[in-house]
Amino acid sequence: MGATVGCVRLPDGLVAVVKRDCPTCVLVEPVLRALGAAVWCQDDAAWFDGDDTNLELSYRLGIETVPTLLRVRAGVETARVVGWSREQWEQLTGVSGLGPALPDHRPGCGSLSVDPFRIDGLEARYGVSGLSSRRVELADAEDEHEALFDRGWTDGLPVVPPTPERVLRMLRGTTRDPREVVAVVPPDLVECTVEKVAVNAVMAGCLPEYLPVVLAALEAATSEEFALHGLLATTHFAGPVVIVNGPVAARIGMNSGVNALGQGNRANATIGRALQLVVRNVGGGRPGEVDRAAMGNPGKYTFCFAEREEDSPFPPLAADRGVAGDAVTVVAGSGVQPVVDQLSRDPESLARTLAACLRVNAHPKLPVAWDALLVVSPEHGRVFREAGWDRGRLLAELERLLLLPAAELVRGAGGMAEGVPDSMAGRELPKFRPGGLLVAHAGGPAGLFSAIVGGWVGGETGSVPVTREVRT
């Protein structure tokens, strides 16, 4: 009788795990030999008969310290002693007078199977859950970065090779089951598991603590109302923009301040990139195929930022949308349009500036259809805060200012063929549909500049912003 542990057959009786580099293991060698124990060594295959230099046995047995002495009966471990203790070894073995020349007690050493530099590799090879993703073997002479380019798995920039060890480290960022299906990803409508998201998060350069935000962003972007398939298939510029609210943003080091919409912050850059890589690698949304954008925009690499909540005139965007705390809001965005107003010191004047700039979204003569995101900077936000204007007050004022006479919008007006049909003449038309304009707060503390992120067709015929909780 005995037990099979991985590829190793353990006999019934006394079993020990040691390493030659451990002074306590060397100390108890005569005792182990006198007991006739079956001994596996972690670092010297020739020291005892048992070779555990691949550490499979140690990993599967959960050995944390050597020497470890076990008793196995009928294939089941019934007792275990860690380190050397004459009293405990005598109790486990039933043999008295062990090691009379040895000290009564000596602590052991750390097992190689819990070495931080080895544990990820061991988990990848021998872990109980394992990884279900298909593994791709590269030839010895093949450059791994070029291989990922060649297979079409990148967004045009180098990615981090998603080794099993890296993917397992990424999965430690969430308690969700790696096999849980997070979303069905357009355009190919492929089921995407937590593990698949982790693979792409590794490729994007994420840290494990970013993974819950990536998962929430994917859940939002693949919701029916966001219409990701349509966003891919359109010839318009837009792609997903991720706005993060709640303590999680500070906890993972996201940028909501200086250059918040730009480069330089790892969390901002890689969370948005991970979402885009999932769409590409899982859903099949590749440029020139289903992704038919005539021009696109740089935000289709990544567009993700945290809302600046600490001095905002507005409640957190997600909270205003019904999800308090850690949350993401995903909107369709097509690039950044600067808004410059360095002179307005009252909210009415500044609102008029914002309205004038918002009117040109998509085209000054196109109302209703196109959504937008207005990102108010701290210096502009201060004007609204000091006047007591919250988000609702600002949106109400913008709605009033952006109620446009159709006579200015009809085709041919202003010498421009673009516009609404003549049948709409005599009416006033809103620039944005109800809920089609979102307002967030972000940016550095200096600079009387805000930003408009142009959107895509909104509502039933297009995309609707979606907010989801981040499950940390």
Domain interval for residue 313: 148-469
- Residue 161 lies inside a defined structural domain of this protein: yes
* Domain shared by 248 and 328, yes or no: yes
One domain, residues 168 and 107: no
The fraction of the chain above a pLDDT of 90, given in percent, is: 89
Q: Which residues, in sequence order, are bridge partners of residue 17? A: 40, 68
Residue 282 contacts residue 185 (beta carbons within 8 Å): yes
Residues 387 and 430 reside in one and the same domain: yes
CATH of the domain at 94: 3.40.30.10
Q: Say whether both 16 and 165 belong to one domain.
A: no
Least confident of 257-271, 302-316, 451-465: 451-465
Same domain, 170 and 114: no
In a domain, 143, yes or no: no
Does 51 reside within a domain?
A: yes
Query: CA dist 173 to 136, 208, 209, 304, 362, Å?
Result: 24, 4, 5, 19, 40
What is the pLDDT at residue 134? 84
Are both 160 and 74 inside the same structural domain?
no
Asked if residue 193 lies in contact with residue 181, where contact means CB atoms within 8 angstroms, the answer is yes
In one-letter notation, the amino acid at residue 66 is: V
Tell me, yes or no, whether 228 and 315 share the same domain.
Answer: yes
Cα distance between residue 213 and residue 230, in whole Å: 23
Residues 358 and 287 in one domain: yes
Report the C-alpha gap between 365 and 117 in whole angstroms.
61
Residues 365 and 217 in one domain: yes
* 322 & 364 share domain: yes
* Residue 137 counted as domain residue: no
Do 107 and 168 lie in a common domain?
no
Task: Work out the pLDDT band at 8, boundaries 50, 70, 90.
Answer: low
Instruction: Give the DSSP letter string of 314-372.
Output: S--HHHHTT--SSEEEEEEE--EEEEE-SS--SHHHHHHHHHHHHHTSS-TT--SSEEE
In a domain, 139, yes or no: no
275 contacts: CB under 8 Å, gap ≥ 6: 214, 217, 218, 221, 240, 242, 302, 304
Q: Which helix (H) or strand (E) holds 280?
A: helix 266-281
Q: Which of 3-7, 244-248, 290-294 has the lowest mean pLDDT?
A: 3-7
Domain boundary among 126, 161, 189: 126
Last residue in a domain, options 126, 156, 176: 126
What number of other Cβ atoms are within 10 A of residue 437's Cβ?
Answer: 24
Residue 141 falls inside a structural domain = no
Residue pLDDT, tens place only, 177-203: 999 999 999 999 999 999 999 999 999
For 42-117, list the strands marked E by DSSP: 50-51, 65-66, 68-73, 76-82, 84-85, 105-106, 109-110
**Residues 109, 170: one domain?**
no
Poorest-pLDDT segment among 119-123, 319-323, 327-331, 345-349: 119-123
Which tens digits make up the pLDDT trace of 414-469?
999 999 999 998 899 999 999 999 999 999 999 999 999 999 998 888 999 999 99
Provide the domain count of the chain: 2
